[in-house]
């Protein structure tokens, strides 16, 4: 079974804004299913599109199946999503040989910036850039599926 091992962090905006960044990629993603035990997501990234199915999270690990789909079909499927579509720009940053993906959210989630690092195995060691703040891996409020239903702008 394919596994995703990922750690998620809040980004320290004061330090992030000062960092030289590569060109970001616009991402739109919507959810066809958002049960706590599984999500079914449609995502477009520039000229690519994907259908992704994720199982329940156990610490930083969960089953993940991802399949490329035609972009036109992804746009049609995004229309079927019953909850708002997430919009963000993703930056891929290399830091000490590891790739960090940093998402700056827009729309109802504007103001939120999250960094993720995907690992090969659960106990893998990695260094954190200075702009990486508090870990939120096990906080379900920071799952994109949750943010689609409960936007960051509505948090108290």
- Please answer whether residues 68 and 9 qualify as being in contact, where contact means their C-beta atoms are separated by less than 8 angstroms: no
Out of 31, 67, 95, 143, the active site residue is 31
* 31 labelled catalytic: yes
Alpha helix positions (H), 26-136:
71-80
From the list 131, 130, 138, 94, the residue with the least C-alpha distance to 113 is 131
Of 120, 112, 156, 154, give the one whose Cα is nearest residue 136.
112
Could you list the active site residues? Answer: 31
């Amino acid at each position: 079974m394919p596994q995703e091992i990922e750690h998620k962090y809040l980004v320290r905006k004061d330090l992030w804004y000062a960092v030289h960044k590569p060109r970001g990629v616009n991402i739109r993603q919507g959810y066809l299913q958002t049960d706590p035990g599984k999500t079914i997501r449609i995502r477009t990234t520039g000229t690519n599109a994907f259908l992704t199915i994720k199982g329940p999270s156990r610490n930083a690990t969960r089953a993940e199946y991802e399949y490329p789909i035609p972009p036109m079909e992804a746009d049609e499927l995004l229309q079927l999503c019953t909850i708002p579509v997430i919009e963000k720009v993703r930056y891929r940053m290399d830091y000490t040989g590891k790739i960090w993906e940093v998402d700056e959210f827009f729309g109802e989630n504007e103001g939120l910036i999250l960094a993720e690092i995907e690992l090969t195995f659960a106990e893998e060691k990695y260094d954190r850039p200075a702009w990486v703040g508090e870990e939120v891996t096990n906080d379900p409020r920071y799952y994109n599926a949750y943010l689609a239903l409960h936007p960051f702008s509505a948090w108290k």
